[in-house]
Amino acid sequence: MSGQLLISLLSPSIGALFFAAFYLLWRNQPKLNYSLSAALGFLLSAAGFIVQDILPAWPYELHRIASNFGFLAGVCAFMAAPLQRRHIPIPVRSIILLIIATMTALFWFLTIQPNLAARIAIMSVSLVVPVAVTLILLLRVSDQRYSDRLILGVVWFTLLLSMLRPVVAFLLPQSFGNYTALEQSTYWGMVHFSYVMMSVTLAIVLFVAIALDLIDELHHQATTDSLSGLLNRRGFESAANSALTVSNPKRQFKALMIADLDHFKSINDSFGHAAGDQVIKSIARHIQVIAGDTAICGRIGGEEFAILLPDHDETMAADIAESIRRDFDSLTTISIGLVISEQPATLSSLLGVADKALYAAKKNGRNQVFILHHSLEDQEA
């Protein structure tokens, strides 16, 4: 086996291995749909190298059209993966137009007006476009996590390689020779080198991102109530404690309410547990809409919900509590115990006072909001 053949086998072998890895990962975790896009990218690019370097030449060298289609479609699939991961719409129509325009231009400069330099320039520009567009779309995402920054780094790296390769090729004399000597040219060696660098880097970063995503998913499952979609007690306590720790020092107001569905057991007894579950889901959606994005909401018991409102004074919190109680249109009513604190307070002491307020609301006839104020004695209790 010649050294040239070994080099020719390197890129498709790497592509095939990564295709198998990401495909099996997707089969095991279908929610990670971006791993399928990555697998498709590796498959297409590996096929491009096989057609270009290993298979027999096609009539009129049309195999070059097929190989370049594999390279361009592969890059588009690669770049679709990080977009899918952040739920950014993929510009499918633009991708199709780009591929059609590129293949048409390549066909022209291959069969009608043969020009190797023009063909290389066209492919170089076409490969840069999806990478640049992906980078722009990812930079628009506001909540950049650590894994997002890693992916941004590899997209920047891919863009740099895609731009640097043709520049160096055109600056080096006879870097891409002619049609028959392309596979032995400096340019083609740079294509293999840049592909190996890009594919290995991209694969490693995507594997890291997938691992972090799975960890986030496990954390979400551990802290979220599956029925209501709100935080469970563990998740609520963690988020609320963090919010109380970093609360705005200029405004010490804190409000916490416990909302409890009145006579919830009678709903299950009269209409069945399915109806009870629908009421739980309904009140959860209702609380999220009324309380707003800054509120921390959790289901801390069977029909009991807690809502922490950092930096809300009594008037603001009471309005929200009344809206939750008054506007809930379902099979039952809601009693709410609300505690207001104007000083630093622990979550446990706030919950204790809110629970007393809820008991008072129930005792006084239900379907009402009862307000208590947090004191130093409550903090020390």
CA nearest neighbour of 191 among 120, 125, 131: 120
Q: What is the DSSP letter of 294?
A: T
CA nearest neighbour of 335 among 258, 233, 278: 258
* Residues 181, 297: Cα–Cα separation, whole Å: 67
The answer to whether the Cα torsion of 262, 267, 269, 274 is positive or negative is negative
The rounded Cα 163 to chain-centroid distance in angstroms is: 28
What SS3 class is residue 307? Answer: strand
End-to-end Cα separation, the chain, in angstroms: 82
Residue bearing tokens 């603001």: 316
The rounded Cα 317 to chain-centroid distance in angstroms is: 33
Active-site residue flag, 342: no
CA distances from 71 to 68, 76, 131, 274, 289 (A): 5, 9, 13, 53, 47
For residue 307, report the phi and psi dihedrals to the nearest 5 degrees.
-130, 120
Outline where the chain has alpha helix (H): 3-28, 33-49, 63-85, 92-107, 116-139, 146-171, 186-223, 233-245, 264-271, 273-291, 314-326, 347-363, 376-380
CA nearest neighbour of 339 among 325, 331, 349, 326: 349
CA distances from 257 to 143, 160, 381 (A): 29, 53, 19
Tell me the two tokens of residue 285.
């959606």
CA nearest neighbour of 78 among 95, 53, 103, 97: 95
> Which of the residues 217, 303, 304, 380 is marked catalytic?
303
* Residues 213, 28: Cα–Cα separation, whole Å: 14
118 CB-near residues (< 8 Å, 6+ apart): 109
Residues with a catalytic annotation lie at 303
